[in-house]
Structure 1
Amino acid sequence: MTEVKLTKENVSEAYKVADDKVKRVLDALFGKAKIRPTLDDYTTIRTYEDACEALGEDEIDEECLHEAGCPNHIIALMKLERISKALWGRNFEPIPDAEGRKYFYYPYFCLYTQDEMKNMSADDCGALLAADALTGAYTGFGYLHTSNRSSYSHAATGFRLCQETETKASYFGKQFIRLWAEYYTFNFKIKD
């Protein structure tokens, strides 16, 4: 029988080329902490700390920011911006395209379940599905607006939190859902 020796480097290299099923097996065998965060594979960025490590940057000094009066949602935004930069990887170039030839994706959140929407009055449910205010009720992540077209989705702010693919934006939203909730500071709780 041949003896096989595995090193941390071998496991890391295998993880980079593995599909999701193999990654789960590697995680089960070697633990998630053993996979070092890298800018070459966004799925290795699983925490804010991972993003800092991959970028080679120090974590923000939350205690100092709190002492200076910085609110929690701003600290959460600072963390999300750093995570977003790490998820972009080595080719970090989120430059807006004024001519509209390039698409960017932002995590999309549903704040109500289907059951909660079924129990809403028609007026409350309608407000969720068609809302706009010209004097500043933009939410920063998306809303519906009816004008000369039937409707469209629009993000007024938050470009630094966009990703270049829909898959990455979805990962960003789901993996860091608690941090997003802290950033938006809605009065809701996240279920596991």
Structure 2
Amino acid sequence: MSKVEIKKENVDAAYKVADENVKKVLNALFGKERKKPTLDDHTTIQSYEDACEALGEPQEVFMEGIPPHIVALMKLETISRALWGRTFQPKPDAEGKEIYWWVWWALYTQSEIDNMDEDDRGALLSAYAATGASAGFGFLGTGNRSSHSAANFGFRLCQETAEKARYFGRTFNRLWAEYLAFNFTVEI
């Protein structure tokens, strides 16, 4: 029988690009050291399962027939609550004094986008330019036309800081793409 040698840095690199199922396999094979998910440190929330564990909630059993984008939204909402932590609860502010961050406002600078490989850039589903430019997931727009289309996202998906919003978007980019991929295919 031949012997295969795998370096720790290779396992770590594979873990960073793996989906949730592959992460489970890597953890089973190599005993990935990880911090226990907690509401006190948002960086310990690295999967939907971690969010459920930190919140002390059971993982939902999603019924057959529920569209994948709805399942993804439900998972994102659970993850968002876990990222809020113990002390933060967003409250609508009609006067606009509170600032909350949505992932697409904090994700990438133009230079980061320019330096992405084709696969990562493909996850950014944005197409709009006017006086400024919109960047982020799932934005389509038209200007100087008789029609306009926009999608506004739920308050439940906002975060209290740009750092948490960036973490939410980058760590769960595949889940965001799945959520926004209603009736079209996103290849990541």
Class of the TM-score when normalised by the shorter of the 2 chains: 0.5 to 0.7
Write the distance in 2 (CA, Å) between the matches of 1:157 and 1:136: 17
Change (3 A) 1:177 1:95: same
Cα distance, 1:58 vs. partner?
0.5
Q: Which has the higher helix share?
A: 1
Q: Which residue of 2 aligns with 1:97?
A: 93
Matches within 5 A, 1:167-182: 167-182=163-178
- Residue pair 1:48, 1:79 contacting (<8 A) in 2 also: yes
Q: Which residue of 1 aligns with 2:59?
A: 59
TM-score by length of 1: 0.60
CA deviation map 1:125-180 (0-9, x unaligned): xx6213358966213xxxxxxxxxxxxxxxx3321000000000000000001100
| SS in structure 2 at match of 1:46 | coil
Matches within 5 A, 1:133-152: 137-139=149-151
Percent of aligned positions that are identical: 53
Write the letter of the residue equivalent to 1:42: H
Cα distance, 1:94 vs. partner?
1.1
Q: Which residue of 2 aligns with 1:70?
A: 66
Cα distance, 1:187 vs. partner?
2.6
| SS in structure 1 at match of 2:86 | helix
Q: Which residue of 2 aligns with 1:145?
A: none
Structure 1: runs of 5 or more not aligned? 1-29, 116-126, 140-155
TM-score by length of 2: 0.61
Change (3 A) 1:59 1:157: same
Q: Which residue of 1 aligns with 2:187?
A: 189
Q: Alignment RMSD, CA only?
A: 2.8
Write the letter of the residue equivalent to 1:178: R
Structure 2: runs of 5 or more not aligned? 1-29, 116-126, 131-140
* Count of residue pairs brought into register by the alignment: 130
- Residue pair 1:132, 1:138 contacting (<8 A) in 2 also: no
Write the distance in 1 (CA, Å) between the matches of 2:58 and 2:147: 39
Q: Which residue of 1 aligns with 2:49?
A: 49
- Residue pair 2:76, 2:175 contacting (<8 A) in 1 also: yes
Write the distance in 1 (CA, Å) between the matches of 2:180 and 2:170: 15
Write the distance in 1 (CA, Å) between the matches of 2:147 and 2:99: 27
Change (3 A) 1:157 1:34: closer
Change (3 A) 1:128 1:157: same
- Residue pair 1:162, 1:169 contacting (<8 A) in 2 also: yes
